[in-house]
């Protein structure tokens, strides 16, 4: 039994996508951000912080998307989605896996300010502007990290699933027009059959309520 504790179109999409790359369709337990179920023992026993994703597999449970993807790569090396010690791309692979969370943390902060504050709370224009600028800086850096069709010269890896999900979310806050290379990279990723299969399992996204979120004005 392989079971994924999952919020649709969140960072746990990385796990659903890589599983599809491996030809695995898990049993999916769906949550929504703010659900009472995310604070209850059922999830907390599997992910101590009540965070998604958590993957039950091989008789264990793994949480945190980067850890889940690395476990999948190491436990199923025949797919070639990881880069083992000694591989020429090992350092770049590890750097990209970590950098994906640097970028995702900024997206998370923008999600919090734009989507989850409830009146009378209001987003701080200064904080939103700063995090938007920082997100732009990470996109600029990432544009320089791509080596060919994918992040690594040796081809598609779990690092692409990590960073690729960010390119789904980032355009709600930063337009990708300045980076045609990133746009082309995103097109390659989102055209992969496994990505499309995972997206079909998700259904239409309803996490974001509008196509683009401007930085709020000081007024």
For residues 114 and 142, membership in a common domain is answered with: yes
- Give the tens place of pLDDT for each residue, 67-92: 999 999 999 999 999 999 999 999 99
Does residue 174 sit within a domain?
yes
| Residue-number span of the structural domain to which 168 is assigned | 90-192
What's the total number of domains in the chain? Answer: 2
Gap between the terminal Cα atoms of the chain = 53
Q: How far apart are CA 22 and CA 105, in angstroms?
A: 27
**Final residue of a structural domain among 59, 79, 99:** 79
- Give the tens place of pLDDT for each residue, 138-190: 999 999 999 899 999 999 999 999 999 999 999 999 999 999 999 999 999 99
Does residue 183 sit within a domain?
yes
Q: How far apart are CA 21 and CA 198, in angstroms?
A: 9
Dihedral sign of CA atoms 175, 180, 181, 186 in order: positive
User: Tell me, what's the pLDDT at 40?
Assistant: 65
For residues 111 and 142, membership in a common domain is answered with: yes
Does residue 198 sit within a domain?
no
Per DSSP, 151 falls in state S
Q: Please state which of the ranges 31-45, 61-75, 81-95, 202-216 shows the lowest mean pLDDT.
A: 31-45
For residues 96 and 188, membership in a common domain is answered with: yes
60-63 vs 27-30, strand pairing mode: unpaired
Question: What CATH number is given to the structural domain containing 48?
Answer: 3.40.30.10
Does residue 181 sit within a domain?
yes
Count the Cβ atoms, other than its own, within 10 Å of residue 78: 6
Does residue 84 sit within a domain?
no
Compute the average pLDDT of residues 27-52: 75
Does residue 219 sit within a domain?
no
Phi, psi of 191 (to 5 degrees): -90, -10
In which order are the strands placed within the sheet that holds 27-30? 27-30, 3-6, 54-57, 60-63
Does 143 or 219 have the greater pLDDT score? 143
Does residue 154 sit within a domain?
yes
């Amino acid at each position: 039994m392989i079971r994924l504790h999952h919020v649709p179109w969140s960072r746990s999409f990385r796990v659903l996508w890589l599983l599809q790359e491996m030809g695995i369709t898990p049993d999916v337990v769906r949550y929504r951000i703010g659900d009472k179920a995310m604070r209850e023992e059922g999830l907390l026993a599997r992910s101590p912080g009540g965070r998604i994703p958590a993957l039950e597999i091989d008789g264990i449970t793994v949480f945190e998307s980067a850890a889940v993807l690395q476990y999948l790569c190491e436990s199923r090396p025949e797919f070639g989605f990881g880069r083992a010690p000694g591989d020429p791309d090992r350092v770049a692979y590890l750097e990209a896996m970590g950098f994906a969370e640097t970028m995702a943390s900024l997206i998370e902060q923008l999600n919090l300010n734009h989507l989850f504050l409830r009146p009378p709370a209001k987003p701080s224009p200064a904080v939103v502007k700063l995090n938007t600028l920082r997100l732009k800086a990470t996109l600029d850096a990432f544009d320089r990290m791509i080596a060919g069709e994918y992040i690594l010269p040796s081809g598609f890896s779990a690092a692409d699933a990590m960073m690729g999900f960010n390119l789904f979310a980032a355009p709600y806050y930063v337009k990708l027009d300045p980076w045609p290379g990133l746009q082309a990279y995103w097109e390659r990723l989102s055209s992969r059959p496994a990505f499309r299969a995972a997206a079909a399992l998700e259904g239409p996204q309803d996490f974001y309520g509008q196509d683009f979120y401007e930085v709020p004005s000081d007024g």
